[in-house]
Amino acid sequence: MGLEAYIAVSAALFCLGVVAIVVRRNVLYVLFGIEMILNAANINFVAFNHFQGGGLEGRMFAIFTIILAAAEAAVALAIVLNIFHLFNSVKPSEADLLRE
Amino acid sequence: MENSSKIFYAVLALAFLAGQGWGMATGGVEGLAFALFASLTIGGALMCIWERSVVRSAFSLLATFSGIAGFFVLLHSDYLAMAQLLIYAGGILALLLFGVMLTPPDLGERKLPRVLTGLGVFGAGFAWVSLKVAATAKWAVRDDAPVEVGTNAERIGLGFLRADQYVVPFELAAVVLTVALVAAVYIARRRPGDLVDREGDAA
């Protein structure tokens, strides 16, 4: 399988992540979509690294992306819990305290 | 099961079979494995968008993460495949499920027209961009790239430790992770006033 096949899958996963964020009215789907987008980026890093030869740069970048995704998931979950606690809802549009 | 879901899963199964056939025809065994992982990844993501229940969506992400781990194996990145399974399928998914458990279900939230419109618009955009890219792009692929054999986990581990390579980003990532986890606990904790307020609301 060539590089193009991996890039196509990664682009499709990225699009689905954006769709998950845009289409569903629930904060948790925003988190799901972000995870999909980060994973799509990771596929690209590793695929380009592999097809460029024996380097490690892309893989290292992917590892750091995974680390930051873990940190992001933990903080985002805490924020979601707080939003639910404050507004009694998980709809992103109802968290509008700053709008007043 | 609703009729729309039946149609959706039938289309998904047909696409899966077609993908397997395409992979077998173009790449032999490796193509078959690629098609399997690709359909796991894309199918899981589609299911995540489609399903009404947040729990099912979260579990369908398991397929996505596992498929990506399979890609990493195909790309000779065994260490990353293992990290993907441990951190994503083991850690982040458990975290997301924890979030699902702590928020109420809302089965009327998914609107079918909105889902179909979103999938249609982004599917058309994806098709248009990929046709453009396939026609014009020149990828920076080296034809003389050395064929990778064996594992590179040892090289990655040494790269983390050597001062002329990645030791500073590695330590920084450790600090960031620690700070983020402590901050997450701090943000999510219940403040002493919260319980009083709640009881006051109920009374």
**What is each CA distance from A86 to A79, A96, B191, in whole angstroms?**
10, 11, 12
What is the model's pLDDT at position B36? 92
Whether A98 is in a domain gets the answer: no
CA B165 to chain centroid: 28
ipTM over 0.85? The verdict is: yes
**pTM above threshold 0.95:** no
Query: Who's near B151: CB < 8 A, 6+ residues apart?
Result: B78, B79
In this predicted model, what pLDDT tens digit does every residue of B35-80 receive, in sequence order?
A: 999 999 999 999 999 888 888 899 999 999 999 999 999 988 888 9
What is the model's pLDDT at position B65? 94
Whether A97 is in a domain gets the answer: no
Interchain pair B156, A24: CB under 8 A: no
Q: List chain B domain ranges.
A: 1-105, 150-203
What is the model's pLDDT at position B144? 67
Is residue B203 very low, low, confident or very high in pLDDT (cuts 50, 70, 90)? very low
Q: Are B63 and B103 in contact (CB under 8 A)?
A: no
Residue B113 has pLDDT above 80, yes or no: yes
In three-state form (DSSP H/G/I as H, E/B as E, the rest C), the secondary structure along B39-71 is HHHHHHHHHHHHCCCHHHHHHHHHHHHHHHHHH
Whether A16 is in a domain gets the answer: yes
> In angstroms, rounded to a whole number, what is the distance separating the alpha carbons of residues A26 and B100?
11
Whether A18 is in a domain gets the answer: yes
**What is each CA distance from B113 to A1, A54, A100, B52, B120, in whole angstroms?**
36, 47, 32, 13, 10
Interchain pair A6, B102: CB under 8 A: no
Q: Are A81 and B188 in contact (CB under 8 A)?
A: yes
In this predicted model, what pLDDT tens digit does every residue of B119-136 receive, in sequence order?
A: 999 999 999 998 888 888
What is the model's pLDDT at position B196? 57
In this predicted model, what pLDDT tens digit does every residue of B169-196 receive, in sequence order?
A: 889 999 999 999 999 988 888 776 665 5
Whether A100 is in a domain gets the answer: no
Collect all residues of chain B within an 8 Å Cβ-Cβ radius of residue A55: none
In terms of Cα–Cα distance, which of A3, A60, A36 is closest to B77? Answer: A60
The count of domains in chain A is: 1
For B128-155, what is the mean pLDDT?
Answer: 78
For B197-202, what is the mean pLDDT?
Answer: 52
Q: What percent of chain B has pLDDT over 90?
A: 29
Cross-chain CB nearest to A36 (options B64, B83, B140): B64
CA B59 to chain centroid: 11
Whether A47 is in a domain gets the answer: yes
Distance from CA of B177 to the nearest CA of A (A): 6
Interchain pair B140, A48: CB under 8 A: yes
Whether A53 is in a domain gets the answer: yes
Q: Is B164 exposed, middle or buried (0-12, 13-18, 19+ CB in 10 A)?
A: exposed
Residue ranges making up the domain that contains A49: 3-89
What is the model's pLDDT at position B145? 65
In terms of Cα–Cα distance, which of A35, A31, A36, A32 is closest to A15? Answer: A36
Opening angle at CA A85, ends A83 and A91, nearest 5: 45
Q: What is the CATH number of the domain that holds A27?
A: 1.10.287.3510
> In angstroms, rounded to a whole number, what is the distance separating the alpha carbons of residues B33 and B148?
18
10-residue mean pLDDT profile of chain A (100 residues): values are 87 93 88 93 91 82 91 90 83 79
Interchain pair B42, A67: CB under 8 A: no
Whether A24 is in a domain gets the answer: yes
